[in-house]
Amino acid sequence: DPTAPWWRNAVFYQVYPRSFVDANGDGIGDLAGVRSRLGYLELLGVDAIWLNPVMRSPMADHGYDVSDPRDIDPLFGDIADLEALVADAHARRIRVVMDLVPNHVSVEHRWFRAALEAGPGSRERRRFHFRDGREPDGSAPPNNWPSVFGGPAWTRITEPDGTPGQWYLHVFAPGQPDLNWDDEEVVEDLDKTLRFWLDRGVDGFRIDVAHGMAKPADLPDHEGWETNELLGHSPADPRFNNPEVHDIHRRIRRVFDEYPDSVAIGEIWVDDHERFAEYLRPDELHLAFDFHLTLSDWDADAVRDAIEKGLAAVTSVHASPTWTLSNHDVDREVTRYGGGEVGLARARAMILVALALPGAVFVYNGAELGLPNVDLPDEVLQDPVWERSGHTERGRDGCRVPLPWEGETPPFGFTSAGSAWLPQPPEWSALTVEKQLEDAGSTLSLYRQAIEIRTERRRSISTERRRSEGGGIGWYGSPAGCLAFRRSDGLTCVLNAGDVAVDLPPGEVLLASAPLTGHALPPDTAAWLA
Ligand code: TEU
Ligand code: CA
């Protein structure tokens, strides 16, 4: 459909740059590495890539602590490498989306350094959230907010004269001070950053913590957060989803509108549909991540509920849904669905469900290889969550282990260095890209076929028919433990999350996540029919 924006039904491939491919042999993935494997991404059939942050950063949170938003970190390359990647990707008709981090910067950002030196009440401190502490001597944090990574969301600084001083707010790690979005210079600087990269051909941004930039003026305590199960997603959490955040999005959107083909994708953690939909109003974000499927259990009713919630959330504002089974912050789906052969079978079934749904699908690098989470030894863990939680939570490194490309032993062609920045399990020799490309039954082959069928069918269905039918799906009645739906182009998807094989409805099987015997669907399997 030539009139629909490119991102509406796009398959996005999330590249975690540290872990994709290392081109210069330091054991850490980089931009030249990504560029060298664009052929692979074209073969996979994706429409776009989203790169996790590659801007200059001391890497306290692997790039989500940006010290210069208009430069590339030398670990990943330079601006010319980014431009070359964009040009080569475009030549293969692959779009490139970067990660934008507007909620906070690094403690090494020039603004934060200046704020430390300038002292209380200064213009420099107003770009952040500096406050005096409580208790007569200021020795207690200004409020009770917890950091998302554990511990208090406040750190006390030492004033230039050497005395114990004010506290600054960091909803994430201490190396990530929150910006004050009431400061006009903060707002203007983001416009500059957007234009800087969009002028270099970037097709849009995934916006980090897009529900977090606005803070309530008086920074009230977060009542009862210790017992709040929905920490971070709850309407009662004053750290997120404050109404003023929508003014910020409207302002940001004006810059995107100067670049007609660009896309703004928000990372929005909010459980409530109506509040989620507010971010997708026509003058705010184009897309927002829907995490219902990412968080749902292996259970047909839970999956159906996640789909219905996801669709309901966007329909009221005529926006397009998004689906994602995993990302760099959560356990890989193979592991979440039970691990081992069973987890893999279920992950393969679920990608057929996601790719059958209307809207955009995000594939986290390595999911197409069926990689599980890795149980890493303590001494290699790097995620701030591990440190901040006092070693009670292992953090997110287990889903960030570098990809296996080829060969029989680690580092599997990921790097020419002796080892990758996180150790890869030896048994990943069975999961390399090299092996899976040759195997018609591999997870990689399943992804390739599914994406190809999806793209073909989208091209063939007439614009008119798609308009008249809308983006919705129709549900079929199905046996317990199963779900079945039909999309507007006639493709039917059936998932069996139950314990016994079920008969498939009539129709030609286009694709199945496991070999079928006859016209029946075994447990832990999905199929597409026409
Ligand atoms: O994540 C935002 C967020 O709140 C969670 O996904 C959080 O990382 C997780 O619950 C911790 O266990 C975004 C990025 O995706 C994440 O990688 C960054 O660490 C975070 O923002 C800070 O920039
Ligand atoms: Ca490198």
Given the CA of residue 101, which atom of ligand 1 is nearest to it? 23
CATH fourth-level superfamily of 110-169? Oligo-1,6-glucosidase; Domain 2 (3.90.400.10)
Is 463 a residue whose pLDDT tops 80?
no
Residue 334 near ligand 1, beta carbon < 6 Å:
no
- pLDDT at residue number 54: 98
328 CA to middle of ligand 1, Å? Answer: 9
Average pLDDT, the chain: 94
Residue 329 near ligand 1, beta carbon < 6 Å:
yes
**Alpha carbon nearest to ligand 1 atom 1, residue:** 209
- pLDDT at residue number 472: 81
Secondary structure, 3-state, 358-406: CCEEEEECCHHHCCCCCCCCHHHCCCHHHHHCCCCCCCCHHHCCCCCCC
pTM of the model: 0.96
- pLDDT at residue number 5: 94
For residue 226, indicate whether it is catalytic.
no
Is 174 a residue whose pLDDT tops 90?
yes
Across-strand partners of 108?
A: none
pLDDT digits (tens, 9 = 90+) for 12-66: 999 999 999 999 999 999 999 999 999 999 999 999 999 999 999 999 999 999 9
415 CA to middle of ligand 2, Å? Answer: 8
Q: Residue range 108-129: average pLDDT? A: 97
- pLDDT at residue number 471: 64
pLDDT digits (tens, 9 = 90+) for 323-353: 999 999 999 999 999 999 999 999 999 999 9
Confidence of residue 365 (pLDDT cuts 50, 70, 90): very high
Q: Residue range 91-118: average pLDDT? A: 98
Contacts 24+ apart (CB under 8 A), 509-512: 510/453, 511/352, 511/446, 511/449, 511/450, 511/453, 512/352
Confidence of residue 230 (pLDDT cuts 50, 70, 90): very low
- pLDDT at residue number 225: 72
For residue 261, indicate whether it is catalytic.
no
Q: Residue range 462-483: average pLDDT? A: 77
Q: Which residue in the list 117, 185, 244, 258 is annotated as catalytic?
A: 258
Is 234 a residue whose pLDDT tops 90?
no
Domain extent listing, the chain: 11-104+185-218+228-438, 110-169
337 CA to middle of ligand 1, Å? Answer: 22
With the most atoms of ligand 1 within 8 angstroms of its CB, the residue from 19, 62, 148 to mutate is 148
- pLDDT at residue number 462: 58
ipTM score: 0.95
Find the range with the poorest average confidence among 27-31, 471-475, 513-517.
471-475
Ligand positioned closest to the Cα atom of 327: 1
Ligand positioned closest to the Cα atom of 14: 1
Closest CA to 407 of 393, 421, 424: 424
Residue 148 near ligand 1, beta carbon < 6 Å:
yes
Q: Which residue in the list 208, 278, 368, 489 is annotated as catalytic?
A: 208
Residue 209 near ligand 1, beta carbon < 6 Å:
yes
For the segment(s) 11-104+185-218+228-438, the CATH number from 3.40.50.150, 3.20.20.70, 3.40.50.970, 3.20.20.80 is 3.20.20.80
Q: What does the DSSP assignment read for 189-224?
A: HHHHHHHHHHTTT--EEEETTTT-S---TT----TT
Q: Residue range 513-517: average pLDDT? A: 96
